[in-house]
Amino acid sequence: MSHLHIHSLNKQFGQFTALADIELTVAKGEFVVLLGPSGCGKTTLLRTIAGLEQQDSGTISHAGRDISALPPGQRDYGIVFQSYALFPNLNVGQNVAYGLNSRKAGRDAFRQRVDEMLALVGLPGTENKFPSQLSGGQQQRIALARALATRPDLLLLDEPLSALDAIERVRLRSEIRQLQQALGVTTIMVTHDQEEALAMADRVVVMRSGRIQQIGTPHAIYRAPGNDFVADFIGRSNLITARAIAPHQADYGGLMLHSAQALETGKSYRFNVRPEDVQLLDGAEAQDNSLYARIIKSEFLGAYTLVTLAPAHHSLPPLQAQFSSNYLAGRSLAVDSHVRIAIPAASLCLMPDAA
Ligand code: ATP
């Protein structure tokens, strides 16, 4: 059952198309993340759901109500922005109570609600502090408490973590996710950070140039990207084209690749190989889809080393591979050293035909 339903939504800024034919349904209690590069329209989509932008055409319905033309105040949501957006002259308690005040809640009731909300975001007893006395992460927790204080049916988060340092960002993202699940509040979050999207979302909506590219669970968009853009944008990828020469065999520039999936002989296929699926081999033992390669770039990144490899004996383009530090056991991955690698047959993920 769709709780929020966006149908055929379009938005132009002059000649510029910010949103093109957006179709999206969100279930009650779901956490949906809008993900894409800068300028892809994700914030515009969130602001349109909030009524802070008006679409040129299309409809939005929420909990069975057509809200397409309603002003923000008549829509039922709480929102958190990137830049905290707390009132600097109001203390924490007054900030959290802001929406309650304007809804004329009773004095005791809203004091109690403020206490509840501050406890919920892990900052009890801070009601008399001012935003300037709080860290960025604490301010964002207060912004979240304010957004949730009125018990909105929908929570909208516009890059809520991007102004925070890396450690605080990771901490707060799991807090937000836990809170969202505990409250069961339907949530739509905007981010350009793919890891954040994968870590938090029930479903991710990948956008580019105002259009939705793919909607799916984090696992689905990572393991079965719908197009090259999604494959490249979510994680790293090697996109290779090979021609089937037998039902499970394809010719990749002279290298014979065994594929776990059945292929149609004579047809060209495109595969995605994730760098972490490439295996580093020890000796010269027989192994499917193995090849020798020279390391042309090597980056040690702590938990793993990311290398760019130039395949030997074949006129193949460079391959990216990622080797876990645990398995390297002192092996050198220095530039110009030669290694033997394999691409496991099951790691050749078939891409849909290019549009
Ligand atoms: P970012 O992460 O950079 O905010 P985004 O995906 O959220 O990217 P939007 O903010 O939705 O992108 O903007 C989409 C495009 O629409 C951008 O190219 C932006 O310059 C343009 N745009 C947004 N708001 C307006 C406006 N009020 N007037 C004109 N153009 C706008």
Show pLDDT as tens, one digit a residue, over the chain (355 residues).
689 999 999 999 999 999 999 999 999 999 999 999 999 999 999 999 999 999 999 999 999 999 999 999 999 999 999 886 899 999 999 999 888 865 555 777 778 889 999 999 999 999 999 999 999 999 999 999 999 998 999 999 999 999 888 898 999 999 999 999 999 999 999 999 999 999 999 999 999 999 999 999 999 999 999 999 999 999 999 999 999 999 999 999 999 999 999 999 999 999 999 999 999 998 777 888 999 999 999 999 988 999 999 998 768 999 999 999 877 777 779 999 999 999 999 999 999 876 4
Say how many domains are in the chain: 2
Residue 99 lies in a domain: yes
Q: Give every strand in the sheet of 211-216, ordered side by side.
A: 77-80, 154-158, 186-191, 31-35, 203-208, 211-216
Half-sphere exposure of 99 (CA within 13 A, CB side): 21
59 with 202, same domain?
Answer: yes
Query: Last residue of some domain: 233, 261, 279?
Result: 233
Same domain, 200 and 308: no
Element (H, E) at 232: helix 228-233
Q: What is the spatial distance between Cα 260 and Cα 249, in angstroms, rounded to a whole number?
A: 9
Residue 355: inside a domain: no
CATH code for the domain in which residue 266 is found: 2.40.50.100
Task: Compute, in angstroms, the gap from residue 187 CA to the centroid of ligand 1.
Answer: 21
Domain boundary among 185, 217, 233: 233
Based on the domain organization, do 26 and 129 belong to the same domain? Answer: yes
Q: Which of 268, 274, 273 is nearest to 250 (CA)?
A: 268
Q: Is the CB of 39 under 6 A from ligand 1?
A: yes
Can you tell me the distance from the alpha carbon of 303 to that of 86, in angstroms, rounded to the nearest whole number? 38
Quote the crossing angle between the two packed helices 166-183 and 136-149, to the nearest 10°: 20
Per-residue pLDDT at 83: 82
Q: Judge if 299 and 243 occupy the same domain.
A: yes
Q: Is 42 in the pocket of ligand 1 (CB under 6 A)?
A: yes
Residues 219 and 327 in one domain: no
> Domain limits at 273?
238-350
- Looking at the fold, whether 205 and 330 belong to one and the same domain comes out as no
What's the pLDDT score for residue 15? 93
**Where does residue 253 fall: left (phi above 0), alpha (psi -120 to 50 degrees), or beta otherwise?**
left
Query: How would you list the strands of the sheet with 279-280, edge to edge?
Result: 279-280, 338-342, 290-300, 304-311, 319-324
**Distance between Cα 206 and ligand 1 center (Å):** 16
Residues 225 and 305 in one domain: no
Nearest CA to ligand 1 atom 11: 41
Q: How far is CA 45 from the centre of its chain?
A: 15
Let me know if residue 318 belongs to a domain: yes
Give distance in angstroms: CA of 41 to centre of ligand 1: 6
Ligand 1 touching residue 37 (CB < 6 A): no
Its sign, for the CA torsion 65, 66, 71, 76, is positive
- 105 with 218, same domain? yes
The closest residue, in CA terms, to atom 17 on ligand 1 is: 39
Does residue 323 sit in the same domain as residue 207? no
Residue 155's alpha-carbon distances to 143, 218, 241, in angstroms, are: 12, 20, 43
Q: State the virtual CA torsion across 162, 54, 150, 154 in degrees, nearest 10.
A: -70
Q: Which residues, in sequence order, are bridge partners of residue 255?
A: 252
Domain end residue (candidates: 202, 233, 264): 233
Alpha helices in 24-154 (DSSP H): 42-50, 92-96, 98-102, 107-120, 136-149
Q: Is residue 113 part of a domain?
A: yes
- Ligand 1 atom closest to Cα of residue 159: 2
| 40 C-beta closer than 6 A to ligand 1 | yes
192 lines ligand 1 (CB under 6 A): yes
What's the pLDDT score for residue 101?
62
Helix (H, G, I), strand (E, B) or coil at 129: coil
- At residue 246's C-alpha, the angle toward residues 241 and 250, to 5°, is 20
Q: Is 18 in the pocket of ligand 1 (CB under 6 A)?
A: yes
Residues 251, 241: contact at Cβ < 8 Å?
Answer: no
Distance 326 CA to ligand 1 centre (A): 43
Q: Cα of 317 to ligand 1 centre, how many Å?
A: 36
Of 229, 173, 213, 178, the C-alpha closest to 197 is: 173
pLDDT at residue 326, rounded to an integer = 77
User: Ligand 1: which of 34, 35, 44 to mutate, judged by most atoms within 8 Å of the beta carbon?
Assistant: 44
